Amino acid sequence: MNSAAAVSGLGITEMGRVYRSAPDLAAEAVGLALDDAGLEKSELDGLLVNAGITQELGLQLHISLGLTDLNLLTFMQGYGSSAGQMIQYAAMAVANGLANNVACVFADSPLREGQRTGASYAGRRGGGDAMGALHGLYGFVGANAMFAMAAQRHMGLYGTTNDQLGQIAVGQRQWAGMNQRATKREPMTIDDYHASPWVFEPFHVLDCCLVSNGGVCVIVTSAERARDGQQPPVYLRGFAQGHQHDTGRADKDYAICGPGERVSKAAMSMADVTLDDVTQCQLYDCYTYTVLDTLEDYGFCEKGEGGAFVEDGKLAPAGSLPTNTGGGELSSYYMWGMTPVSEAVIQGRGQGGERQATNDVILCSGNGGMLNYHSTLVLSPEAAS
């Protein structure tokens, strides 16, 4: 499967407070991706759909798009790992002749006009059972609480600090300053980070991802077709996914150990690369902590050493491991797993402008749930030799 498929098209809508429905944004993203790839709608014979928190997007998208002769159509939900999963299935489909051009699309519109950003996820936080209701009485609700507790666990075990988490946020804001699409481009210092309000200790506002309305579509085709395409091909050198749960198990600390270790090893093995070959990372960053945790799981440093690994700014523009070069979900836009994927494609094409980093081997992650679901992609502008 190494380099048998490639990304040929990318469509990104306007992001942020764009008050349109998710199906409308998805349709626009697909159209933009087709234009980008130089394809007619009739040439699209596969559609994979991932809906966001509003769950407004479904399989009916193919009807509104007027796609009448699809060979592949499915709805996928692995939360933040879904983008990587969709691309994996699309790659396997085109490599085995099940489809020629497969669109992988995500769109969501949780932001409502006249409503504060934080209210966009209100009422979608779970807690329908008795224990959830009890947690809710004390403010322990939603992803902020769960990931904050995981970060606290990491701090308690290893001495990780807010200064270290803050370096991730500051570095990504520096990248966002060079990205015209980024929602947050104004400069940010470590003092600004510490001055931002607490959300759920140890998370400040600036530890947390944005909330965005928008849509992203990626078109996957065979390597042969991609080489004849309108855009430089970005080859899918390797991919893998892995999923876990912590119910009734005491053999693993799931607050700090997701499935990323085994998933990244499998993806890099398929790609026939090692960490020494990786020139940049696009990592799922719903929180600063998930970046740190993924770096540890992927083996860039030992478990517990992530804080020390990032504190010198090596993820920032002047650093040795360019990471989340568009600003990530913390500063650019939050399209679940499509945020790191879209930047990986831009970087793989060499179209990053002033933020372009060395793109020989790009490692891209997706994370869903509370470190439950994981996907890894290895991308490159060069096919395997």
pLDDT value at residue 294: 98
- 158 as an active site residue: the answer is no
Q: Give the confidence band of 131 by pLDDT, cuts at 50, 70, 90.
A: low
Among candidates 40, 59, 41, which has minimal Cα distance to 49?
A: 59
Peptide bond into 232 cis (omega under 30): no
* Mean pLDDT lowest among 5-19, 177-191, 196-210, 236-250: 236-250
Using the structure block, give the residue that is written with the tokens 């902590």: 289
CA 362 vs CA 96, 321, 365, 379: distances in Å: 24, 11, 10, 5
Give burial (CB, 10 Å; 0-12/13-18/19+) of 298: buried
Contact call for residues 104 and 84 (beta carbons, < 8 A): no
CA 69 to chain centre: 30
pLDDT above 70: percentage of residues in the chain: 91
pLDDT value at residue 109: 95
Q: Which domains does the chain have, with CATH numbers?
A: 5-112+211-227 (3.40.47.10)
The CA angle 255-259-264, to the nearest 5 degrees, is: 135
Catalytic one among 79, 289, 333, 334? 334
Catalytic one among 284, 287, 298, 333? 284
User: Phi and psi for 51 in degrees, rounded to 5?
Assistant: -95, 150
In tens, the pLDDT along 247-294 reads 545 566 766 778 999 999 999 999 999 999 999 999 999 999 999 999
- 32's tokens: 């933009």
In tens, the pLDDT along 326-355 reads 999 999 999 999 999 999 999 999 999 999
What sign for the dihedral angle of Cα 181, 196, 321, 334? negative
pLDDT value at residue 256: 77
- 334 as an active site residue: the answer is yes
In tens, the pLDDT along 222-232 reads 999 999 999 99
CA 124 vs CA 52, 121, 141, 237, 379: distances in Å: 12, 6, 10, 37, 34
Pairing status of strand 373-380 against strand 101-108: unpaired
In tens, the pLDDT along 102-121 reads 999 999 999 988 776 665 66
In tens, the pLDDT along 9-31 reads 999 999 999 999 999 999 999 99
